Chains A and B, each alone.
Chain A
């Protein structure tokens, strides 16, 4: 009974890790395929969140029966928590710097409300609109 359960868990874990890896691969392809910084930020940071979570779930499923001394489920929870909390911060800073230093391809922008606002305000980029 427990052996079949182990096999099932194994398969679920394998599928989770596989799906996570595929999502990370998609992120890599998107990084090469998209032309400008902001679009690349999307693929660099996002499918990876789900990909990483799936890989962690996969590892967790295999770790529950086999307790190692290196890390346990708590460590995985911490990894997931800090990844999800820090990715937006890094993404925001990168996007903001990219925008403020003019590394944005205008031809790819269909609609840009931030630029409109900056123009109407006469705000010099980098003068600290957001504090």
Chain B
């Protein structure tokens, strides 16, 4: 009898611990997806029920499949976020045309894999930059080195050093936009401290000393 009660109590504490790990913003995001799936954005009484049900399902999912939290979480800077989205969209359109031109240019297209070192120390920025670079035509992430924060980017039609530098700068620009839109104050400070020029100078310095 007491053993059963004990078991019940440990189960309850475990459940409580799991519930404590529920990340409310993520649950809200999942609720949003739920609402979009079931046409929840119409003015009727069922929408309210859909909202509650969606939130409950999200919490249940997070209790059953707990995920490690994103630390530090995103800080939203709305104006910069809009500018970021516009920038990415314009880049997609421009780069789509460039790739189209490359497709119809006769002859072999030579490519390069370029190492781009991130300037900030946050996983979130790195993931976002990698995703955006992958969406934008002409760049493709081949390899990610997380301890050193290096993205290895495959660039289409890039062969001379000048074009490589331009590509590297483009990825850095993307990173800067993401940090400005989602980063913490520390990230922004880190970005300001180590601009691309400094990074390059340091890299050249290392290259001289290295084997």
A63 at interface by CB-CB < 8 Å: no
Q: Is the interface of A mostly helix, strand, loop or mixed?
A: helix
**B145 with A129: CB separation less than 8 A:** yes
**B103 with A33: CB separation less than 8 A:** yes
**B159 with A42: CB separation less than 8 A:** no
The count of residues in chain B whose C-beta lies closer than 8 Å to any C-beta of chain A is 48
The count of residues in chain A whose C-beta lies closer than 8 Å to any C-beta of chain B is 44
Stretch at the interface among B5-13, B66-74, B128-136: B128-136
Contact partner, B109, options A34, A95, A129, Cβ 8 Å: A34
**A74 with B37: CB separation less than 8 A:** yes
Contact partner, B156, options A39, A88, A113, Cβ 8 Å: A39
Contact partner, A72, options B39, B104, B142, B211, Cβ 8 Å: B39
Nearest CB in chain A: distance from B9 CB, A: 38
- Which residues on the A side are within 8 Å of B144 (C-beta)? 92, 130
A113 to B33 CA separation, bound complex (whole angstroms): 40
**A108 with B103: CB separation less than 8 A:** no
**A114 with B152: CB separation less than 8 A:** yes
Tell whether A43 pairs with B36 under 8 Å between CB atoms, given A23-B96, A108-B109. Answer: no
A83 to B93 CA separation, bound complex (whole angstroms): 17
- Which residues on the B side are within 8 Å of A38 (C-beta)? 111, 140, 142, 154
Within 8 A of B (CB), among A28-55: 29-30, 33-35, 38-39, 41-43, 45-47, 49-50
| CB 8 Å contact bits of B78-107 with A (1 = contact, 0 = none) | 000000000000001101100110011000
B76 at interface by CB-CB < 8 Å: no
Besides A78-B33, A92-B141, 17 new A-B residue pairs in contact (Cβ under 8 A), listed by A number: A33-B103, A42-B138, A74-B36, A74-B40, A74-B41, A88-B131, A91-B134, A92-B144, A95-B140, A108-B110, A109-B111, A113-B113, A113-B115, A114-B115, A117-B115, A120-B210, A120-B211
Interchain Cβ contacts under 8 Å between A and B, 8 examples? A33-B103, A39-B156, A47-B99, A92-B141, A108-B110, A110-B110, A129-B145, A131-B146
